[in-house]
Amino acid sequence: MVGELIGSEFPDEIITIGGHLDSWDVGHGAHDDGAGCMQSIQVLRLFQKLGIKPKRTIRAVMFINEENGSRGGKKYAELAEKNNENHLIALESDAGGFAPRGFGVTAEESTIEKFRSWLPHFNPNTISYIKKGGGGVDIAPLNRRLGTPTIGFIPDSQRMFDVHHSPKDVFATVHPRELELGTASIAGLIYLIDKYGL
């Protein structure tokens, strides 16, 4: 499932953000990965609500089959290659709907340093670091097939394995404020990438 805001200046440059719809059988998949899906959708909604018209196309993708073969991510990359799409960068949220802490980036060192220069734009109680190396299962095929740089959103991991792939991965365990802080952090980084490029 795909939703997008078409870029006003560089519509052929695509910034992809996403999560995956499928979950482990024993829970609802609220953190893994309903949270990532909702954050991706909400980034588009925030742009709309604030009247921000992106320069580049921002695409939210709800991948399928991450838990059992990652065929959704593989197919998405295959179609992107077939359609000759230019994916500027891709971000995945797949580590739960917990308080934001940082981002992991797989890209050229100059891009990572540029992103680090943006850290003052974030409250240090939310995003305090940008580290080298990151992405996600769903967006890894874009990196392998097209060389697309990737970003993994990193929330606080202390409680993730209390719920991960367990009957406790239910909607009641997602704190709305933590989910919103993660969404705002992702939206902030996407805004900066859209505005300044890589």
The whole domain housing 44 covers 2-196
Domain with 122 in it: what CATH number?
3.40.630.10
The string of pLDDT tens digits covering residues 17-34 is: 999 998 888 889 999 999
The string of pLDDT tens digits covering residues 107-152 is: 999 999 999 999 999 999 999 999 999 999 999 999 999 999 999 9
Q: How does DSSP assign the chain, residue by residue?
A: -EEEE--SSEEEEEEEEEEES---TTS--IIIIIHHHHHHHHHHHHHHHTT---SEEEEEEEE--GGGT-HHHHHHHHHHHHTT-EEEEEEE--S-S--EEEEEEES-HHHHHHHHHTGGGS-TTT--EEEE----TTTHHHHHHH---EEEEEE--TTHHHHTTSTT-SGGGS-HHHHHHHHHHHHHHHHHHHHH--
User: pLDDT at position 25, please?
Assistant: 81
The string of pLDDT tens digits covering residues 155-193 is: 999 988 899 899 999 999 999 999 999 999 999 999 999
Give the residue-averaged pLDDT of 44-65.
97
- Average pLDDT of the chain to the nearest whole number: 96
Report the number of distinct structural domains present in the chain: 1
User: pLDDT at position 24, please?
Assistant: 81
User: pLDDT at position 23, please?
Assistant: 85
